Amino acid sequence: MIHKLPLARLGVVGGGQLARMLAPACNAHNVSLTILDPEPLCPAGQVSSHQIEGALHDPAALEALCDDSDIITFDLEDVGADILMTLSNRGKKMVPSPKAVQLIQNKFKQKKHFQTYEIPTSPFIGLSEAADFSTVQAFGLPCVQKANIGGYDGRGVHVIRSKEDWSKRLRVPTFIEEFVPNSIELAVMVACRASGEMVSYDPVEMVVNPKLNLLDYLLAPARIDLETAKKAQLLAEQTVRSFGTAGLFGVEFFLTGEGDLLVNEIAPRAHNSGHHTIEACVTSQFENQLRACLDLPLGSTKLRGHALTINLVGAEGFSGAPMIDGLDALCELEDVHVHLYGKSHCRPGRKMGHVTLIGVDSEMLISRLQSFQNRLTIRGEYPL
Ligand SMILES: Nc1ncnc2c1ncn2[C@@H]1O[C@H](COP(=O)(O)OP(=O)(O)OP(=O)(O)O)[C@@H](O)[C@H]1O
Ligand SMILES: [Mg+2]
């Protein structure tokens, strides 16, 4: 097949770190990149060919992005899916389809979709405004209350164990689901082409700090047996196939104490648990996202070694222009890869960057992490 160069003009709705990390793949393939984001010089806007400043739900801004682009993809799912569906129906190519994005942006609809397609997921019920504590008690405690829309990075997730937790419930449309105890959290990245060709990456283990209940680090491959890993990949592929669209997806799982896999949620885009693929895999998640968008043969997902990724999140107690401490010591280590996202403001808990370590096994990576973790901080300029 003969391709005209440049290959395409790619438009991305949202200009965060995921779109920023897509830029190197676009450059390498002679694809121009236009970003739509309301914030001037957003992380992806700094490294793209062009940024349109506008809201992600604004019809005129989305139309302007479509005018500038041959293909549209996404940095996040909180976008004006209705408008995008209209533009897609007029013939604009979008990967994944806005219909899938619209379904996925509502977690309650996602859960119902899993149920319809017999994809194992924890039991759940919608919560009406009239619901009271007896409703959740009847469902079973502990349970997890989740906002139907708009939640990310744990915001919009509330664990209910007691009447006191119920009094602090989320006051937006929500559902509740069974709390999955003592699980291992896994994620599988899947890329899919319009032809149906599909590749999946080895499952990644998300190691949570039990004291802080925050993500500590990610390990690739996950410390699970090969059979479970294969099962997770097949289930992730089945889940992606059920949405009937090309694209790159992150599928999050709970592996229960009994060895069952439950799908927690799906993201229709690049994902935090795929960042290691930049250095650790033959083809990064971002390159496969681009190939899926361009309908090119997908690249090998093979791991070149073991990888550990930590997020660099804003330290508690500070806000303002970002500053990093501990970078020099980090750079002295071999096979350590630092990514800083170019966010101009740092606040507690905000994802400012990530670091990936590559090595021969997970124990060695965990001990290397411990050697610098306490000395590495990123924080805002001013105390809060
Ligand atoms: N049913 C559950 N049982 C036990 N823990 C849960 C359950 N649902 C969510 N959690 C915990 O809360 C975390 C965040 O939940 P979820 O992934 O649904 O929300 P999120 O806001 O999309 O988070 P993220 O953006 O980090 O993926 C999970 O990674 C898990 O640690
Ligand atoms: Mg999640």
Banded pLDDT at 5 (limits 50, 70, 90): very high
Q: Could you report how far apart the first and last alpha carbons of the chain are, in Å? A: 58
**Tokens 């190197």, residue located:** 24
User: Does 160 score more than 90 pLDDT?
Assistant: yes
Task: Give the pLDDT mean for 321-331.
Answer: 95
Banded pLDDT at 86 (limits 50, 70, 90): very high
Q: Measured from the CB, is residue 185 less than 6 Å from ligand 1?
A: yes
Q: Measured from the CB, is residue 154 less than 6 Å from ligand 1?
A: yes
Q: What is the pLDDT of residue 150?
A: 87
**Tokens 């989320």, residue located:** 170
Pick the ligand that lies closest to the CA of residue 206: 1
**CATH architecture type of domain 184-383:** 2-Layer Sandwich (3.30)
Q: What are phi and psi of 273, to 5 degrees?
A: -80, 10
Across the chain, mean pLDDT equals 96
Q: Tell me whether residue 128 is exposed, middle or buried, using C-beta atoms within 10 angstroms of its C-beta: 0 to 12, 13 to 18, 19 or more.
A: exposed
**Tokens 């499952």, residue located:** 203
Instruction: Please state the length of the chain.
Output: 384
Reported pTM: 0.97
Task: Give the pLDDT mean for 182-193.
Answer: 97
Residue whose CA is closest, atom 25 of ligand 1? 153
Residue 238 neighbours by CB under 8 Å, 6+ apart: 117, 119
Q: In CATH terms, is domain 123-178 a member of 3.90.1150.10?
A: no
Q: Which of 101, 29, 43 is nearest to 72 (CA)?
A: 101
Task: Give the pLDDT mean for 361-375.
Answer: 94
What is the whole-number distance in angstroms between the Cα of residue 338 and the centre of ligand 1?
26
**Tokens 């001990």, residue located:** 367
Map residue 208 onto helix, strand or coil.
strand
Q: Which of 124, 163, 129 is nearest to 145 (CA)?
A: 124
Q: What is the pLDDT of residue 214?
A: 76
Q: What is the pLDDT of residue 322?
A: 98
Q: Measured from the CB, is residue 153 less than 6 Å from ligand 1?
A: yes
Task: Give the pLDDT mean for 72-100.
Answer: 97
With the most atoms of ligand 1 within 8 angstroms of its CB, the residue from 78, 141, 170, 264 to mutate is: 264
Q: What is the pLDDT of residue 275?
A: 98
Structural domain spans, the chain: 8-94, 123-178, 184-383
How many C-beta neighbours within 10 Å does residue 227 have? 9
Q: Please give the sequence-ordered ranges of beta strands (E in DSSP) within 161-260, or none if there are none.
A: 174-178, 184-192, 198-200, 204-209, 214-220, 247-255
What is the whole-number distance in angstroms between the Cα of residue 353 and the centre of ligand 2?
18
Q: What single-letter DSSP state applies at residue 300?
A: P
User: Does 212 score more than 90 pLDDT?
Assistant: no
Which atom from ligand 1 is nearest to the alpha carbon of 264? Answer: 18
With the most atoms of ligand 1 within 8 angstroms of its CB, the residue from 144, 204, 206 to mutate is: 144
What is the whole-number distance in angstroms between the Cα of residue 382 and the centre of ligand 1?
31
Pick the ligand that lies closest to the CA of residue 107: 1
Q: Which of 22, 56, 20, 23 is nearest to 38 (CA)?
A: 56
The CATH code of the domain at 8-94 is 3.40.50.20
Distance CA 170, CA 193 (A): 38
Residue whose CA is closest, atom 15 of ligand 1? 154
Name the token pair of 186.
């896994």
**Tokens 């927690």, residue located:** 264
Q: What is the pLDDT of residue 45?
A: 98
Q: Which helix (H) or strand (E) holds 315?
A: none
Q: How far is CA 39 from the centre of its chain?
A: 20
Residue whose CA is closest, atom 28 of ligand 1? 154
User: Does 40 score more than 80 pLDDT?
Assistant: yes
